[in-house]
């Protein structure tokens, strides 16, 4: 992780540590199954163990880390069955979010999607996995939140949180980053023309590509 001096700290030490841990997980710096060594991490970040423990409890509630008695905290791992279940539930919920969002899709919402897509493409071109992960999330949630169904958006966000560590593995491959860029462009084209069924179909394909690639990685591992 970068030195704390290289970042501007949020208002509290716990928020700072939470942000650093989340970034390390979503960027792939801490991979699924990796142990979180609290003493070394507290020293590296320049904080006491108290905000670190609180941050870990928050991440445990988000299913990004797990705690094992007498062993400590680890980045959460998913089985292939878990991964497929999460993506299947996302397929159902996100289809409804897209249909509802399409009915409310105006120029402002489209502009937000296009701005997020430019960030996705910039990060993809630079090979910036962490930046692409963040921009990709902004793109998708700019769409889902247009549905104006906050409970639905929160449910979808919970499912995304559970697979963040795996998303970074997917984006580590240049071919996968290229797929994402092209699929996002196709989604935007469909939304601009009001072709909601086409947008849903492309997003289903978008998720299927990710699941297939991740399944290969998990089976090889």
| pLDDT string in tens for the chain (221-residue length) | 554 444 555 578 889 999 899 888 877 788 889 999 999 999 999 999 999 999 999 999 888 899 999 999 999 888 899 999 999 999 999 999 999 999 999 999 999 999 999 999 999 999 998 899 999 999 999 999 999 999 999 999 989 988 888 888 889 899 999 999 999 999 999 999 999 999 999 999 999 999 999 888 887 75
The CB density around residue 190, as the number of other CB atoms within 10 Å, is 20
Tell whether 165 and 191 lie within a shared domain.
Answer: yes
Tell whether 106 and 123 lie within a shared domain.
Answer: yes
Tell whether 138 and 208 lie within a shared domain.
Answer: yes
Q: Total structural domains in the chain?
A: 2
Tell whether 22 and 109 lie within a shared domain.
Answer: no
Structural domain including 125 reads: 80-220
**Residue 61 belongs to a domain with what CATH number?**
1.10.10.10
Tell whether 68 and 171 lie within a shared domain.
Answer: no
Tell whether 49 and 144 lie within a shared domain.
Answer: no
Tell whether 65 and 108 lie within a shared domain.
Answer: no
Residue 53 and residue 17: Cα distance in Å, rounded? 9
Instruction: Name 165's Cβ contacts closer than 8 Å, sequence gap at least 6.
Output: 25, 26, 28, 30, 31, 32, 64, 75, 76
Tell whether 59 and 102 lie within a shared domain.
Answer: no
Tell whether 86 and 40 lie within a shared domain.
Answer: no
Tell whether 90 and 170 lie within a shared domain.
Answer: yes
Total-model pTM: 0.81
Residue 181 and residue 125: Cα distance in Å, rounded? 10
């Amino acid at each position: 992780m970068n030195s704390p001096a290289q970042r501007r700290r949020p208002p509290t030490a716990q928020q700072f540590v939470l942000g650093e841990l989340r970034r390390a997980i979503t960027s792939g710096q801490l991979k699924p199954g990796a142990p979180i060594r609290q003493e070394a991490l507290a020293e590296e970040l320049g904080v006491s163990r108290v905000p670190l423990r609180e941050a870990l409890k928050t991440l445990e509630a988000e299913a990004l880390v797990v705690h094992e008695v007498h062993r400590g905290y680890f980045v959460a791992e998913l089985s292939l069955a878990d991964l497929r279940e999460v993506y299947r539930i996302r397929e159902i919920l996100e289809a409804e979010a897209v249909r509802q969002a399409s009915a409310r899709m105006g120029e402002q919402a489209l502009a937000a999607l296009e701005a997020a897509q430019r960030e996705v493409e910039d990060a993809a071109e630079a090979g910036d996995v962490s930046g692409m992960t963040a921009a990709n999330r902004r793109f998708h949630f700019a769409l889902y939140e247009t549905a104006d169904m906050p409970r639905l958006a929160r449910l979808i966000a919970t499912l995304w949180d559970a697979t963040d560590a795996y998303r970074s593995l997917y984006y580590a491959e240049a071919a996968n980053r290229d797929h994402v860029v092209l699929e996002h462009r196709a989604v935007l084209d469909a939304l601009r023309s009001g072709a909601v069924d086409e947008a849903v179909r492309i997003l289903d394909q978008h998720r299927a590509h990710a699941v297939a690639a991740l399944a290969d990685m998990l089976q090889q591992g």
